[in-house]
Amino acid sequence: MTPSSADYDYIRRLVQDHSAIMLEAGKEYLLGLRLQGLMTRHGCADIPALVQKLRSDRSGALSREVVEAMTNNETSFFRDLHPFETLRKVIVPELIRRRAAERTLDIWCGASSSGQEIYSVALTLREHFPELVNWRLNIVSTDLSREMVQRGRDGRYSQIEVNRGLPAMLLVKYFERSGMDYYVKPDIRRMVDFRELNLNGPWSGVPSRLDIVFMRNVLIYFEDAVKRRILAKVHDLLRPDGYLFLGGSETTLNLEDRLEQVQLERTRCFRRRH
């Protein structure tokens, strides 16, 4: 049976209601592609069969799976590189001075996919700031996708993944190989607290006074009203001298005027306007 536009609309609405992700109209083929594995697992021959199952999905488990399957989880270690350079050269040294009395840093990664981004932060801290050993580092990493959160927690990466953006020096120092994969060593893994969190829902477990927020390459999937709501919440949780990182094509401009853009080295970050 060929899927009707009502079937597509049903899935589009399901995904948007739950995750706020807007699926572009006209990309129906993509939908089929992303859902193929899931449909096979659940014995659905086609999209109409899947939609029929979804309509009677009382527990919400299948709906959730569909939503997760529609997320784009593209990421890599030290993605774009310059945010991490700025972190190392400017932001962390500055925060170490400013927090010398409290000796605490609260860091949140709000769409961490399979974990490469937050491990890049953790590795930067561990490799370049030995003075932080006696600090309380509260590093929370969250994502909508249960599978991605578990991957981050496992800290297990394929050859293809460690090939991408991870300096070889850091690979040999902080990873160990087992079978075909490379594992983040336990003392780095223990630095990060991985949890499920839907940015489009209540934010439980997010530290309430944040020094550094990474929320990169996720707002692009949302409509402006959702972006506004999320950025307003980030503003409220960010400390007056804290920093927000967005993806290269994302901004607060015309969305949250209480956050202003600052150019630090090669990177654009955002802070509370004073």
Partner 1 sequence: MGKRALVIDDSRAMRRVIANILTERGFEVLEAENGQVALDQLEANPGIEVALVDWNMPVMNGYDFIKAVRAQPKYARLTMMMVTTETEMSQVVRALAAGANEYVMKPFTADALVEKLELLGLL
Ligand X SMILES: C[S@@+](CC[C@H](N)C(=O)[O-])C[C@H]1O[C@@H](n2cnc3c(N)ncnc32)[C@H](O)[C@@H]1O
Binding mask 61-80 for ligand X (x = CB under 6 A): ----------xxxxx---x-
Q: Pick between residue 3 and residue 222 the one whose CB is nearest to ligand X.
A: 222
Q: Pick what 169 binds: partner 1, ligand X, none; C-beta below 5 to 8 Å, kind-dependent.
A: partner 1
Binding residue for ligand X, selected from 15, 51, 91, 144, defined by CB under 6 A: 144
Q: Pick between residue 33 and residue 100 the one whose CB is nearest to ligand X.
A: 33
Binding residue for ligand X, selected from 16, 124, 145, 252, defined by CB under 6 A: 145
Yes or no: say if 38 and 69 are a contact pair by the CB < 8 Å rule. yes
Q: Pick what 111 binds: partner 1, ligand X, none; C-beta below 5 to 8 Å, kind-dependent.
A: ligand X
Contact flag: residue 163 with partner 1 (CB under 8 A): yes
Yes or no: say if 215 and 234 are a contact pair by the CB < 8 Å rule. yes
Across the beta sheet with 175-178, what order do the strands follow?
156-157, 181-184, 175-178
Cα–Cα distance measured from residue 11 to residue 236, given in angstroms and rounded to the nearest whole number = 33
CA distances from 172 to 111, 166, 167, 182, 189 (A): 27, 10, 9, 10, 15
Yes or no: say if 102 and 129 are a contact pair by the CB < 8 Å rule. no
Identify the three-state secondary structure at position 190: coil
User: Residues interacting with ligand X, by CB under 6 A?
Assistant: 19-21, 71-75, 79, 111-113, 117, 143-145, 148, 198-200, 216-218, 221, 247
User: Which residues of this chain interact with partner 1, rule CB under 8 A?
Assistant: 76, 78, 81, 159-160, 162-165, 167-169, 171-172, 175-177, 182
